[in-house]
Structure 1
Amino acid sequence: MTTPVRQDLVVLSLEPWDEVWRRNQHLIAGLLHDDPALHVLFVEPPVDHLHDLRRGAPLTLGRRLRPLTAHDGTPTGRAWAYRPTKWLPRRLAPGADDRRARAVHRTARRLGMSDPVLWVNDPDGAAVLRATGWRSLYDITDDWLRAERDPAEHRRTRQNEDLLLADCDAVVVCSPALARSKGDRVGRTVSLVTNAVDLAAYRRPMARPGDLPAGDYAVYVGTLHPDRLDLEACLRLAVALRTAGAHLVLVGPALLDPLDLTRLEAAGAVVLGARAAAVVPAYLQHAAALVVPHRVDDFTDSLDPIKLYEYLAVNRPIVSTPVAGFRDQPGHRVITASPQQLPAAVLRVLSAPPTPGSPAEVPSWGDRVRQMRDVLDRVRAGTTPR
């Protein structure tokens, strides 16, 4: 029996590898479990001390290179995570992205990765592509050109994305809106690989978490990020639920300004923070309503929210602002309301809960792993259409 040829993959991620699983972790873990020849270096976003200080977060150090194990959801011995430290802003330390690129290159070589495929999710990873010339794919999960950023950051992101769209061997997008905008912009074929859910985990009954408030609650599960959350809609919803004897519960990493978090808690919201992926389904299964108080703008219109699939999997009432993914669902599955009318819509669900229908058919991460494996195979073989 012949030994399979080793396949190396370097992933430049927008999120760290932690207990809050996102698209990258689901896909990479699935690929590792399916292919015993695959070895992965997962590059996390740099620790940014000044940014942490501004938002009142505790200081942390980069975790450098560490092995990922079965505890992290990966096969032991074939995956590593690397997180550098960003000491100063770019305006004070020019060339930071190039230094990071050289560090990634050195780290890959230490692991015996001489000719890996480069998987870019973070647009700043364009520097690694410039420095290495590795075969590559660009996995676009957010349209950062549509987010509110200062002019210098917007220019840098556009320049990086221009390079990635032109030079990567394959471009993958997570939403139809991104398929249209990025495909039209660069004039090339893009691969649509939408998000999914771990169906077995979300449909397995779980006990009510002990850190929930007593009584009914409406829950939002996801990163509390100013680019996505409509803060004023959240405040109105928290007040309305508190008046009705219920609670708005927010589960996920809190990246909001400390003052905004204080305002939410003063309005009656329960901000629980990040929870491990294994226990998240329980917060959804016991909720009176699952809510999506997202901003309605060009940036959120480009998204394919993972929470859409997670919410549908547990078959609870869903109330959302009219954002991509949710507004396309039939009325018996998702109630949409403007940010101003969201509280009234949620209160109607709480006062007259709808009768649950049959569970929706939603894709699993196994389906998406197979799609990404096909893209990677084409990149390795040099057969991706340009």
Structure 2
Amino acid sequence: MQKFDSIICVGQTTWEGDFQKAVVQLMRELSVRHRVLYVDYQHTAKDLLMGALGRQKGVPVKAMFGLANALTTKDGKDGSAVHVWQPPTMLPINFLPAGIHDRLLTVNAGRLARGLRRVMQQLGFEKPLIINGMHPVLGMALLGKLNEAGTIYYCFDEITISPWMREHGGRYEPNYMRRVDAVITTSEALREAKAQVQPRTFCVKNGVDFPLFSQTRLLAQQHPPTRPTVGYLGTADDRLDIDIVAHCVRTMPDVTFQFIGEIKEPAITARLGQYPNVVFTPPQQPALLPPLLAQLTATMIPFVCNAHTKTIYPLKINEYLAGGLPVVSTPFSNLSDFEGVVPMVATPEAFAAALRHALTDNDPARVQVRIDMARANSWAHRAEEFEVVFGQL
């Protein structure tokens, strides 16, 4: 494995939040064997204004005004630490047409690079490996500006489908992939697609915070669910097959269907909220999820089957399994790793039948198979797979 002095991760995801984030989990694991600096979300002047007025949550107003230290230390894994840096305020440019966007991008990238070089000097990061988390626009603008020893593009979604990134990200991604040393995707479908542009493309699938989610099983044994409940964890948006879920809810009135997370598709609450056996629970901090999952009897991933979902390897599948919970899914993606453990069914009738069976699928041996599968897919193991790619740069 090639030895890098340090790792700097630049992306478009905040370190903190109400859900598990692949890039954050990965950096925590890599910090056990590497010095890691995480560049937090690049908030714009608009974000700062809205945060100062109390109209937008999660904006680090004090740090952006210079009233708090922009460089902090967060817990990694096994006693390690991750340096997290809040960048200076950026110009809001994503909504602009290509010509203006590209000119102002140099301003944003220049501010970011200058501030980042100061932080690198403070921390003694000399020739870092840059891991770009799904932000090819900024990645392209930063190439060669950080004395980097190598650059990896970490691609965990199809950028041309993302509403926020598809216009400029779609323009920048192909050229950026040609310029980086390697691309790492989170699904085989993504790997196949990106390998057409960058032959040095590898697949490292999403993992699970196994120590956290394995607590679900113990909590369920201590306080078993009081009634049959099917759960869905995570953001509910246009990926959800509402027809399948509505059929299950309607034909299984004795079962509670609980959605834990943000509802981004209004049709979900409009169609499902009318049923008394549907419960919506707002997003929760990761540490609060095991007690909620412990009150579930079975879980589901009822995604539609289309070009977008084909590229997804869902975080939630291993989070469910780590707690020993039965999972029923649609065949939206290549999830052959879970064959024999997670039934993949496509029609509303078949999905309801599979859920009905899952509600009683609590044989101890079956439970242990699920837990063992999730343990093998832990973020600790995924970090090791990532490091194998390091050795090939």
Range class of TM-score, shorter chain: 0.7 to 0.9
Task: Find 1:313's aligned residue among 315, 322, 330.
Answer: 322
Contact 1:319–1:335 (Cα < 8 Å) also in 2? yes
Residue 81 of structure 1 and its aligned partner are, at CA, apart by: 4.3
Residue 206 of structure 1 and its aligned partner are, at CA, apart by: 4.3
Question: Match for 2:389: what amino acid?
Answer: V
Is 1:368 aligned to residue 365 of structure 2?
no
Residue 325 of structure 1 and its aligned partner are, at CA, apart by: 4.7
String of CA shifts for 1:136-160, please: whole Å, max 9, x gaps.
Answer: 1101111223x2759xx64533321
Contact 1:49–1:60 (Cα < 8 Å) also in 2? no
Instruction: Note closer, same or farther for the CA distance 1:46–1:337 as it changes in structure 2 (3 Å cut).
Output: farther
Residue 69 of structure 1 and its aligned partner are, at CA, apart by: 2.6
Is 1:276 aligned to residue 285 of structure 2?
yes
- Normalising by structure 2, report the TM-score: 0.76
> What are the equivalent positions in structure 2 for 1:235-250 lying under 5 Å apart?
235-241=246-252, 243-244=253-254, 246-250=255-259
Q: Distance in 2 between matches of 1:99 and 1:341?
A: 55
Contact 1:288–1:317 (Cα < 8 Å) also in 2? yes
Q: Distance in 2 between matches of 1:273 and 1:5?
A: 41
Instruction: Note closer, same or farther for the CA distance 1:186–1:71 as it changes in structure 2 (3 Å cut).
Output: closer
Contact 2:4–2:128 (Cα < 8 Å) also in 1? no
Aligned CA-pair RMSD: 3.6
Q: Distance in 1 between matches of 2:127 and 2:25?
A: 24
Question: Match for 2:96: what amino acid?
Answer: R
Task: Find 1:144's aligned residue among 154, 159, 164.
Answer: 159
Question: Match for 1:158: what amino acid?
Answer: G
Residue 290 of structure 1 and its aligned partner are, at CA, apart by: 0.8
In the other structure, the counterpart of 2:231 is: 219
> What are the equivalent positions in structure 2 for 1:73-88 lying under 5 Å apart?
75=80, 78-82=83-87, 84=89, 87=92
Contact 2:249–2:257 (Cα < 8 Å) also in 1? yes
Q: Distance in 2 between matches of 1:345 and 1:107?
A: 56
Q: Distance in 1 between matches of 2:45 and 2:272?
A: 25
Contact 2:225–2:295 (Cα < 8 Å) also in 1? no
Unmatched runs of 5 consecutive residues or more in structure 2 = 65-69
In the other structure, the counterpart of 2:96 is: 91
Question: Match for 2:110: what amino acid?
Answer: R
Q: For residue 266 of structure 1, give the secondary structure of its aligned residue in structure 2.
A: coil
In the other structure, the counterpart of 1:40 is: 37
String of CA shifts for 1:307-360, please: whole Å, max 9, x gaps.
Answer: 2222222222211111225465334x2222225336522552266545342424
Name the % identity: 19
Question: Match for 1:78: what amino acid?
Answer: H
Instruction: Note closer, same or farther for the CA distance 1:328–1:78 as it changes in structure 2 (3 Å cut).
Output: closer
String of CA shifts for 1:75-95, please: whole Å, max 9, x gaps.
Answer: 557333448566565237734
May I ask how many residue pairs the two structures share in their alignment? 358
In the other structure, the counterpart of 1:197 is: 208
Q: For residue 219 of structure 2, give the secondary structure of its aligned residue in structure 1.
A: coil
Instruction: Note closer, same or farther for the CA distance 1:294–1:221 as it changes in structure 2 (3 Å cut).
Output: same
In the other structure, the counterpart of 1:162 is: 174
In the other structure, the counterpart of 2:109 is: 101
Q: Distance in 2 between matches of 1:266 and 1:59?
A: 30
List 4+ stretches of structure 1 deviating above 6 A: 47-50, 71-74
Unmatched runs of 5 consecutive residues or more in structure 1 = none
Residue 62 of structure 1 and its aligned partner are, at CA, apart by: 3.5
Task: Find 1:129's aligned residue among 137, 142, 151.
Answer: 142
Question: Match for 1:165: what amino acid?
Answer: M
Is 1:267 aligned to residue 275 of structure 2?
yes
Question: Match for 1:31: what amino acid?
Answer: L
Q: Distance in 2 between matches of 1:267 and 1:375?
A: 49
Question: Match for 2:259: what amino acid?
Answer: L
Residue 297 of structure 1 and its aligned partner are, at CA, apart by: 1.0
Is 1:176 aligned to residue 191 of structure 2?
no
Instruction: Note closer, same or farther for the CA distance 1:270–1:88 as it changes in structure 2 (3 Å cut).
Output: farther
Q: Distance in 2 between matches of 1:214 and 1:143?
A: 40
- Normalising by structure 1, report the TM-score: 0.78
Q: Distance in 1 between matches of 2:176 and 2:284?
A: 33
Residue 222 of structure 1 and its aligned partner are, at CA, apart by: 1.9
Task: Find 2:199's aligned residue among 167, 188, 200.
Answer: 188
Q: Distance in 2 between matches of 1:90 and 1:130?
A: 23
Instruction: Note closer, same or farther for the CA distance 1:260–1:155 as it changes in structure 2 (3 Å cut).
Output: same
Instruction: Note closer, same or farther for the CA distance 1:42–1:374 as it changes in structure 2 (3 Å cut).
Output: farther
Question: Match for 1:101: what amino acid?
Answer: A
Is 1:233 aligned to residue 244 of structure 2?
yes
String of CA shifts for 1:29-84, please: whole Å, max 9, x gaps.
Answer: 1111333xx1403232646969xx9xxx9524632435143399985573334485
Q: Distance in 2 between matches of 1:45 and 1:307?
A: 27
